[in-house]
Amino acid sequence: MKLHLFCFALLTSFLIIGQEYNQFDSDGKRHGEWLKKYEGTDQIRYQGTFEHGKEVGEFKFYKPTSGDVPTAIKLFTKDKDSVSVTYFSSKGKVISEGKMIGKQRVGEWKYYHNNSDKLMMVENYKADQLHGVQKTYFDNGQLTEETYYVDGKREGKRLIYSEEGKLMKQYTYKNDLLHGPTMYYDTEGELIIQGSYKKNKKDGIWKYYKNGKLDKQKLFPQANGGSD
Q: Is residue 76 part of a domain?
A: yes
Q: Is residue 85 part of a domain?
A: yes
Q: Is residue 35 part of a domain?
A: yes
Give the pLDDT confidence of 131-155 residue by residue, as tens digits: 999 999 999 999 999 999 999 999 9
Q: Is residue 62 part of a domain?
A: yes
Q: Is residue 198 part of a domain?
A: no
Other CB atoms within 10 Å distance of the CB of residue 172: 18
Give residues with Cβ within 8 angstroms of 198, minimum separation 6.
179, 204
Q: Is residue 151 part of a domain?
A: no
Q: How far apart are CA 123 and CA 158, in angstroms?
A: 14
Please say if the pLDDT value at position 16 is more than 90: no
How many domains is the chain built from? 1
Longest Cα separation, the chain: 104
What's the pTM?
A: 0.85
DSSP letter string, 189-210: S-EEEEEEEETTEE-EEEEEEE
Q: Are strands 104-112 and 94-101 parallel, antiparallel or unpaired?
A: antiparallel
Supply the DSSP symbol for 188: T
Look at residue 227 in the predicted model and tell me its pLDDT.
59
Containing domain of residue 27, as a range?
21-89
